[in-house]
Structure 1
Amino acid sequence: MQTINRRTLYILPTRFGLIYVLLCGVLLVMAINFDNALVYLLCFWLFSLFLATMVLTWRNLDQLKLTAGRADPVFAGQTAMFPVGVEAPDRLHPAIVVGIAAYEVRIDCPKEQRVTAPILLEDCVRGRVDLPPVTLSTTYPLGLFRAWTRIDLPSHTLCYPKPMTIPLPTHHTMVEGQGASESAAHIIRGVDHFEGLKRYAIGDALSRIDWRAYAKGQGVWVKEFSGQTTTEVWLSDADFSGPMEVRLSYLCHCVQALTQAQHAFGLRLGAFMISPNTGDAHQTRCLEALALYQR
């Protein structure tokens, strides 16, 4: 959490504020030329309002507290959303603009409450995506001044390769006697067709147990699918030809498809290796490796 203070807060007149000061100067010249007390009074009242507005604008950002929440991973080309929390510990702070260079959102921050401003980053590129410096600004209450501050919040997410379903030409084999894309496609297709049930044996995947039959007291049965195989699949960037980004995109598709099929697989990226496994945690680890490879 970071707190805005006088050392990081800046304020300058807006274009309307400069016109306002010019108007006050014209009124002062008129008051001097015509020696008119009412014009003097109007001029000094307007200038006092100008100074009071400067203080109110500055106070509207002072002592605000900022935090950056966790951003969910995205795929290349998608929009990442960083939740930025703004908290007002002492009073209402209205008309606060929170944003980065390409995106802004306006919020009102009530007393002793936290308001979340979603900061969007469009067209993310594979790799680590860091939250750019966040700018808070306000022209409250009259638009005569603009106060602002710029804060670096430690927040990041990952951008995975965009899944590509078109099979790529292969260099070697990934499963005995099959090309990489053919092997993965065969296994993925095979588990889609339910064949029947068999008695549970040690070594069968728990994810394939028919829990409904078990709950009815019918014993422990395991679902069988056509094309089911116990051969471990290894995914590797060296198995495919083409640009690296295209290969990573196809590997991303294979990771998702094999995870959905609940089939164990491993991943090799250069000298980096992830042992065969299955499940959502394994999928996340593989996608993270694909996102950060050569970055």
Structure 2
Amino acid sequence: MRRRADARFERWVRRRSPASLPVRFDRHRIYVLPTAFGMFFAVLLLTMGIGALNYNNNPALLLCLMLAGAAVASLLQSQLQLGGLEVHAVGAEPVPAGMPLHLRVHVRAEPGRARRGLRVECAGAATTLSLQDGAGEAVLVVPTARRGWMDPGRIRLSTTRPLGLARAWAYAWADAPLLVYPAPEVAGPPLPQGIGESPQSRLHPAGDDVHHLRDWRRGDSRRAVAWKASARRDALLVREFEQPLGAAIVLDWRALAGLRHEDRIRRLARWVDEAERESRRYSLWLPGQPAIGPGAGSVHRHACLRALALLPGTGDGTR
């Protein structure tokens, strides 16, 4: 029942919130309710007030009214802690499924007002937020379970300052869902052999062929110095070697027909990472999509892993 109530409350709150960032918290977006300690304090004041009136004790009644005034002031101060805050960016770098996602929430604030005791919560993760020079960043470690798009849900900023009698909170939502890469296979066969007539090579100190000569830099080995060329140029030159790597690798979905749907995705994800570590050029072939590549580098890796992450499931609920 509590989960259903929370879901209905979230839908009602989200209708009142803008769909895109930045989100600025004003009095229409901030909710304030007493804490458990605040409810106990209210009952205590009520009991004190009834006793003071019953026994006609003016000092006790005065103390009760002073404490009640302090409590009301704390409600206003709790709201002011959030008033004027602006959540202007929410994002995270993609990670493989099963690894924690570091969700970064960037917040700005009006200068000249101290903000203390701010707490940020999202998807079961929580952390504190500190502002310096009117800006701050909270990093939430959010668990991931499945590949594909992940909606982190509502981001809640709250505080119980200054007296802990009331909790003020407000909500924000990310502009777009976050991407979770497929979890790579733990162990398996090595990379397939490259095909075609486009051999690759990379600079490597243990290579066999000389690629070019360059100026000597501190830390270079003496064995790599080209002494004859250095004598002609009257400057130290160093040989750069290259190591042949073979032709471009084709990571083909069709070549893994003996594996289950998700196992294919995990193996291809592992091969993409291995090809990047070995500085190989590779292309990725997936069903119903044009070939990606050949290429190499972080941009190409992201394109391949994104395509693998967004492949449709098998229809049995697995992703």
**Normalized against structure 1, the TM-score is what?**
0.79
**Aligned-partner Cα distance in 2 for 1:221–1:22:** 81
Q: Name which of 131, 153, 170 aligns with 1:109.
A: 131
2:163 is the counterpart of 1:142: yes
The answer to whether the 8 Å contact 1:95/1:107 transfers is yes
Structure 2 unaligned segments of length 5 or more: list them. 1-21, 195-200, 218-225, 230-236, 314-319
**Aligned-partner Cα distance in 1 for 2:268–2:305:** 9
The answer to whether the 8 Å contact 1:214/1:220 transfers is no
The answer to whether the 8 Å contact 1:80/1:124 transfers is no
**Aligned-partner Cα distance in 2 for 1:106–1:42:** 35
2:301 is the counterpart of 1:279: no
The answer to whether the 8 Å contact 1:67/1:153 transfers is no
Structure 1 unaligned segments of length 5 or more: list them. 169-179, 185-189, 199-208
2:275 alignment partner in structure 1: 258
Letter in 2 for 1:34: Y
1:233 alignment partner in structure 2: 249
Cα 1:18–1:271 change in 2 (3 A) is same
Cα-Cα RMSD: 2.9
CA displacement, residues 153-174 of structure 1 (integer Å, 9 cap, x when unaligned):
2254322222225336xxxxxx
The answer to whether the 8 Å contact 1:128/1:157 transfers is yes
2:38 alignment partner in structure 1: 17
1:223 alignment partner in structure 2: 242
Percentage of matched positions with identical amino acids: 25
Paired residue secondary structure (1:86): strand
Residues 1-295 of structure 1 aligned to structure 2 (within 5 Å): 1-90=22-111, 91-110=113-132, 112-164=133-185, 166-167=187-188, 182-183=192-193, 196-197=208-209, 209-210=211-212, 212=214, 223-225=242-244, 228-230=245-247, 232-240=248-256, 241-272=258-289, 273-294=291-312
CA displacement, residues 242-262 of structure 1 (integer Å, 9 cap, x when unaligned):
222211111112112223333
**Aligned-partner Cα distance in 2 for 1:276–1:234:** 8
Cα 1:101–1:158 change in 2 (3 A) is closer
**Aligned-partner Cα distance in 1 for 2:311–2:77:** 50
Q: What is the aligned residue count? A: 265
Letter in 2 for 1:293: L
**Aligned-partner Cα distance in 2 for 1:197–1:82:** 46
Moved more, 120-129 or 215-224: 215-224
2:232 alignment partner in structure 1: none
Letter in 1 for 2:266: S
Deviation for aligned residue 1:58: 1.2
Deviation for aligned residue 1:69: 4.3
